[in-house]
């Protein structure tokens, strides 16, 4: 069993990375081999819209023809038994690095049929850990449910199953006195960090553990065999 996690945050030791590490700890507890890849360490761009992966009977059908730092990473995913994505929410979506990665990862597998189908050769669990400065009630207020739902739907089409974990109202700065942040109450942020973040870490651990112990791909109450 191999579980690969992808950090779409530029920070390697803060909210998103910490939750991904907990998820991989959960996977390791079930005997899985794990790997954490920091996307900001690699030089790549998003989909170039060349459609090389869509050419009928072509050598590149189902494969991304762009050669850069992402090429060996995309090859690794072929052997993954579960994938966990993690990203901060920037202006209502994942970071630009994560969006570029997902474009390159998923478009090559997507088959233009009705309904949409996937060239990925097996069904695996995928999870997406979203960290954000938004409070939970603001997600609906700002219309972010559509983005999170679309992510889950697309990952399910490509890989077979998907679920999301949300870390709301994040503690962004180690010292709020050094930044312009009058919108926020540092004491409330720190309190939430102490009291709620450990629960989110536990949920991440459980996600990794569940993905590694599952014999069938699950999505809610649905099992895809």
- pLDDT at residue number 202: 96
| pLDDT tens figures, 185-207 | 888 888 888 999 999 999 999 99
SS3 170: coil
Q: Cα–Cα distance between 194 and 190 in angstroms, integer?
A: 6
Confidence check: pLDDT of 223 > 50: no
- In this predicted structure, what is the pLDDT of residue 190? 86
111: which 2 tokens?
């088959």
CA distance 165 to 26: 14
Is the pLDDT at 84 greater than 90? The verdict is: yes
Q: 92: pLDDT confidence band, cut at 50, 70 and 90?
A: confident
pLDDT band at 214 (very low <50, low <70, confident <90, very high): low
Q: At what angle do helices 70-77 and 96-107 cross, to 10 degrees?
A: 60
Domains and CATH numbers, the chain: 2-224 (3.40.50.360)
DSSP assignment letter at 10: S
pLDDT class for 216, splitting at 50, 70, 90?
A: very low
Query: What is the token pair recorded at 209?
Result: 């553990």
Residue 173, SS3 per DSSP: coil
Residue 217: per-residue pLDDT:
56
Q: What is the Cα 89 distance to its own chain's centre?
A: 11
Give residue 12's Cα distance to chain centre.
Answer: 15
Compare 173 and 121 and report the one with higher pLDDT.
121
pLDDT tens-digit map of 107-134: 999 998 889 999 998 999 999 999 998 8
pLDDT over 50 at 161, yes or no? yes
DSSP readout, 63-127?
A: S----STHHHHHHHHTT-SEEEEEEEEETTEE-HHHHHHHHHHHHTTEE--SS-EE--SS-BEEE
Region 139-168 average pLDDT: 91
């Amino acid at each position: 069993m191999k579980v690969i996690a992808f950090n779409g945050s530029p920070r390697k030791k803060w909210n998103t990375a910490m939750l991904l590490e907990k998820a991989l700890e959960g996977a390791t507890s079930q005997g899985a081999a794990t790997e954490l890849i920091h996307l900001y360490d690699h030089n790549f761009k998003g989909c170039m819209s060349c459609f090389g992966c869509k050419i009928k009977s072509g050598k590149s059908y189902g494969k991304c023809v762009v050669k850069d730092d992402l090429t060996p990473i995309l090859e690794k995913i072929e052997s993954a038994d579960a994938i966990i994505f993690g990203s901060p929410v920037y202006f209502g979506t994942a970071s630009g690095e994560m969006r570029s990665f997902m474009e390159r990862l998923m478009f090559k597998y997507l088959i233009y049929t009705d309904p949409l189908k996937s060239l990925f050769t097996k069904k695996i669990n995928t999870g997406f850990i979203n960290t954000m400065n938004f409070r939970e009630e603001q997600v609906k207020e700002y219309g972010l449910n559509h983005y999170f739902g679309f992510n889950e739907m697309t990952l399910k089409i490509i890989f077979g199953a998907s679920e999301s974990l949300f870390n709301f109202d994040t503690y962004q700065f180690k010292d709020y006195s050094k930044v312009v942040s009058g919108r926020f109450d540092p004491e409330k942020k720190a309190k939430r960090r102490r009291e709620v973040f450990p629960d989110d870490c536990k949920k991440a651990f459980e996600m990794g553990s569940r993905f590694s112990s599952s014999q069938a791909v699950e999505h809610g109450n649905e099992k895809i065999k």
